[in-house]
Amino acid sequence: MEILDNSFGTIFKITSFGESHGDLIGIILDGVPAGLEFDLEFIQSEIDRRKPNQSHLTTPRFEEDKVKVLSGLFKNRTTGAPICLIIENQDIELSIYEKYRNFLRPSHVDYSALKKYAGFSDFRGSGRFSGRITAGFVIAGAVAKQILKRYNIRVFAYTKSIGNIVDETRYSSDEIKKLYDLRHNSLVGAIDHAKSKSMEFLIETVKNQKDSIGGTIKCIVDNFPAGKGGPIFNRIDSNISKAIFAIPSIKAIEFGAGFKSAKMRGSEHNDPWILKNGKVQTTKNDAGGIIGGISTGMPIEFTVAVKPTASIGIPQKTVNIKTMENVEFEFSGRHDPCIVPRVIPVIEAMTAIVLLDCLLIEGHIPRVFNS
């Protein structure tokens, strides 16, 4: 745990700053190994996966989301110095927030923020509470992914369900390359083509009703080495879950068989070790690649629940905090009818950040890349 709110990680440490409707949002990356050739194009492509207004299924807020480097590179390589990256805000809409500022939007942070910051926080577009802050996480995650890729480790997430439409298939991590292509062809980040179409239709329906809908995302990491993490407080599951809950709208996480484990017997859940091609593996990976907080060498697998977007266009009951009256109101701001597809790159990013940090802590990845 940090005492402050805006930094995460130990050796690979990110510090978030900026506001949703301020001048910019930014991120400082500290602890990036020196000597890394910086792949700004890849970072931009990751940002693009999260940016608003990608299709008719996302918010109409227009942001180019062009990432800029302010420090830490020299001759396009990392130097060991902190790397500061920013995205300038463009489509800033202020009046609406001023207008509604005394109405506590249901399931929004207005009341919590008011109690915490005594009215001083930047309330425009939820300020620091905005999902837009996670664009910085995606930048950091892209750098983490680039480094993990050198070690053949890939982090992959996809939409497992939207509302009641669930893709129950258990995809093998061997297929990840193929899965990338399938996900790429889906507007909602799903793998199964038919399910994807149903999900899209559901989101459109919900959107037309000025409502919103939740979903689940599954994340798979392959080739993560065995024996990393710690048995007490540096458990990989502990650290991943802490990171994942830093993403707005996440309400649950389960590793491997997760809640299903609670219904199982040991004889059913236990996962025998076997030798396969001289390598120690498990047969089922119900543990999701983590036992006793430490990696087993099997794919790390977890699923998260994303709640429906709180901003909806339907009249809702709430409190006017200034007049202290129960009221009904209709908030007309722009919003995503379903945030799930845009959360996928953020899930991948936070996972990559945690796992890179873990490998740096363990000395598995050096502090300087000599080649």
State in angstroms the smallest separation of the CB of 78 from its own copies: 7
DSSP codes of every residue in 154-173: EEEEEEEEETTEE------G
Please, which residue, 53 or 281, has the CB nearer to its own copies? 281
Please, which residue, 175 or 307, has the CB nearer to its own copies? 307
State in angstroms the smallest separation of the CB of 177 from its own copies: 27
Judged by CB under 8 A, the stretch of 53-61, 148-156, 190-198, 353-361 that binds its own copies is: 353-361
Please, which residue, 23 or 64, has the CB nearer to its own copies? 23
Judged by CB under 8 A, the stretch of 57-65, 92-100, 186-194, 308-316 that binds its own copies is: 308-316
- Report if residue 92 touches its own copies, rule: CB under 8 A: no
- Report if residue 18 touches its own copies, rule: CB under 8 A: yes
Find where tokens 């809409």 sit: 93
Please, which residue, 118 or 168, has the CB nearer to its own copies? 118
- Report if residue 101 touches its own copies, rule: CB under 8 A: no
**CA–CA gap between residue 217 and residue 253 (Å, rounded):** 10
- Report if residue 334 touches its own copies, rule: CB under 8 A: no
C-beta separation of 37 from 370 below 8 A:
no
Q: Of 288, 304, 295, which Cα lies nearest the Cα of 244?
A: 304
State in angstroms the smallest separation of the CB of 209 from its own copies: 8
Please, which residue, 45 or 332, has the CB nearer to its own copies? 332
Beta strands, E only, 108-180: 154-162, 165-166
Applying CB under 8 A, among 197, 230, 333, 334 the residue interacting with its own copies is: 230
Judged by CB under 8 A, the stretch of 46-54, 58-66, 177-185, 246-254 that binds its own copies is: 246-254
- List the interface residues with its own copies, window 136-165 (CB under 8 A): 161, 163-164
Q: Of 242, 241, 243, which Cα lies nearest the Cα of 350?
A: 243
**CA–CA gap between residue 368 and residue 31 (Å, rounded):** 10
Please give the helix or strand (H or E) that residue 202 lies within, else none: helix 193-208
Please, which residue, 184 or 259, has the CB nearer to its own copies? 259
C-beta separation of 10 from 75 below 8 A:
no
Amino acid at residue number 192: D
Please give the helix or strand (H or E) that residue 69 lies within, else none: strand 67-71
Judged by CB under 8 A, the stretch of 1-9, 58-66, 146-154, 172-180 that binds its own copies is: 1-9
- List the interface residues with its own copies, window 45-74 (CB under 8 A): 70-72, 74
- Report if residue 312 touches its own copies, rule: CB under 8 A: yes
- List the interface residues with its own copies, window 175-204 (CB under 8 A): none
- Report if residue 341 touches its own copies, rule: CB under 8 A: no
Please, which residue, 57 or 86, has the CB nearer to its own copies? 86
Determine the angle formed by the axes of helices 340-361 and 236-244, rounding to 10 degrees.
140
Q: How far is CA 271 from CA 37, 258, 295, in A?
A: 41, 14, 14
**CA–CA gap between residue 154 and residue 177 (Å, rounded):** 10
Applying CB under 8 A, among 95, 208, 267, 277 the residue interacting with its own copies is: 267
- Report if residue 254 touches its own copies, rule: CB under 8 A: yes
C-beta separation of 275 from 297 below 8 A:
no
Please, which residue, 178 or 355, has the CB nearer to its own copies? 355
Q: Which residues contact 12 (CB under 8 A, 6 or more apart)?
A: 29, 30, 31, 32, 144, 353, 356, 357, 360
- Report if residue 41 touches its own copies, rule: CB under 8 A: no
- Report if residue 93 touches its own copies, rule: CB under 8 A: no
**CA–CA gap between residue 180 and residue 147 (Å, rounded):** 19
